[in-house]
Structure 1
Amino acid sequence: MPAFREFVLKVHQQCNLACDYCYVYELADQSWRDRPAAMAPEVWRAAARRIGDHATRHGLDRVDVVLHGGEPLLAGRSALVQLITDVRAVVPTARFSTQTNGALLDDAMLEALGAYGVRIGVSLDGPPEQHDRHRRHRNGRGSHLLAERALRRLAGHPAYAGILCTVDPATDPVAVYEALLAHRPPMIDLLLPHANWARPPAPGAAEWLIAVFDRWYGAPRRETGIRLFEELISLILGGTSRSDQVGLSPVAVAVIESDGAIEQVDSLKSAYPGAAATGLNVFDHDFDAATRHPGIVARQSGRDALAASCLACPVHDICGAGHYAHRWRPGGGFRNPSVYCADLRRLIDHIGARVAADLNGRVRA
Structure 2
Amino acid sequence: MTMVPFRQFVLKVHSRCNLACDYCYVYEMADQSWRNQPRRMSRNTMYQVVERIAEHAEAHRLPSVSLVLHGGEPLLAGTGFLAALIRHARRTVPARVNVSMQTNGTLLTQEHLEVLAGLDVKIGVSLDGDATVSDRHRRFTNGEGSHRHVERALRLLSAKQFRGTFAGLLCTIDLRSPPLATYEALLSHTPPAVDFLLPHGTWTQPPPGRGKGASGTPYADWLLAIFDRWYDRAETWVRMFGEITQAALGGTPAVEGLGLRPSTVVVVDTDGSIKQLDSLAAAHEGAADLDLHVTRDAFDAALSHPLTRLRQGGADSLAATCRRCPVMRTCGGGLFTHRYGHDGGFTHPSVYCPDLLHLITSIRRRVSGDLSRVAQ
TM-score, normalised relative to structure 2: 0.95
Q: Which runs of 5+ in 2 are unaligned?
A: 210-217
| Deviation per residue, 1:160-205 (Å, 9 max, x gap) | 1010000111111000101111111111111000011011122321
Quick one: which of 360, 364, 368 aligns to 1:348?
360
Find the counterpart in structure 2 of residue 56 from structure 1.
Answer: 58
TM superposition shift of 1:311: 1.1
Quick one: which of 79, 99, 109 aligns to 2:81?
79
| Deviation per residue, 1:313-349 (Å, 9 max, x gap) | 1111111111110000112110111000001111011
* Distance in 1 (alpha carbons) for counterparts of 2:37 and 2:303: 23
Aligned length: 362
**Superposition CA RMSD, Å:** 0.9
* Distance in 2 (alpha carbons) for counterparts of 1:265 and 1:344: 21
Q: Which amino acid in structure 1 is aligned with residue 365 of structure 2? A: A
Find the counterpart in structure 1 of residue 189 from structure 2.
Answer: 183
| Deviation per residue, 1:300-322 (Å, 9 max, x gap) | 00101111111111111111111
TM superposition shift of 1:236: 2.0
* Distance in 2 (alpha carbons) for counterparts of 1:25 and 1:346: 31
Q: Percent identity of the aligned residues?
A: 51
Q: Which runs of 5+ in 1 are unaligned?
A: none
SS in 2 for 1:105: coil
* Distance in 2 (alpha carbons) for counterparts of 1:300 and 1:32: 26
Deviates more, 1:19-28 or 1:135-144: 135-144
| Structure 1 position 246 matched with structure 2 position 252 | no
| Deviation per residue, 1:219-276 (Å, 9 max, x gap) | 2xx2110011111112222211221121111110110100000001101111001100
| Deviation per residue, 1:30-83 (Å, 9 max, x gap) | 111111000001111001011011111111111000100000000011111111
| Deviation per residue, 1:14-38 (Å, 9 max, x gap) | 0000000000000000111111000
| Structure 1 position 67 matched with structure 2 position 69 | yes
* Distance in 1 (alpha carbons) for counterparts of 2:171 and 2:121: 20
SS in 1 for 2:143: coil
| Structure 1 position 103 matched with structure 2 position 106 | yes
After TM superposition, the runs of 4+ consecutive aligned structure 1 residues lying more than 2 A away are: none
SS in 1 for 2:266: strand
* Distance in 2 (alpha carbons) for counterparts of 1:275 and 1:338: 17
SS in 1 for 2:223: helix
* Distance in 2 (alpha carbons) for counterparts of 1:240 and 1:50: 30
Alignment of 1:163-312 (within 5 A): 163-203=169-209, 204-219=218-233, 222-312=234-324
* Distance in 2 (alpha carbons) for counterparts of 1:80 and 1:311: 43
Q: Which amino acid in structure 2 is aligned with residue 214 of structure 1? A: D
Q: Which amino acid in structure 2 is aligned with residue 205 of structure 1? A: Y
| Deviation per residue, 1:74-99 (Å, 9 max, x gap) | 00111111111121120262111001
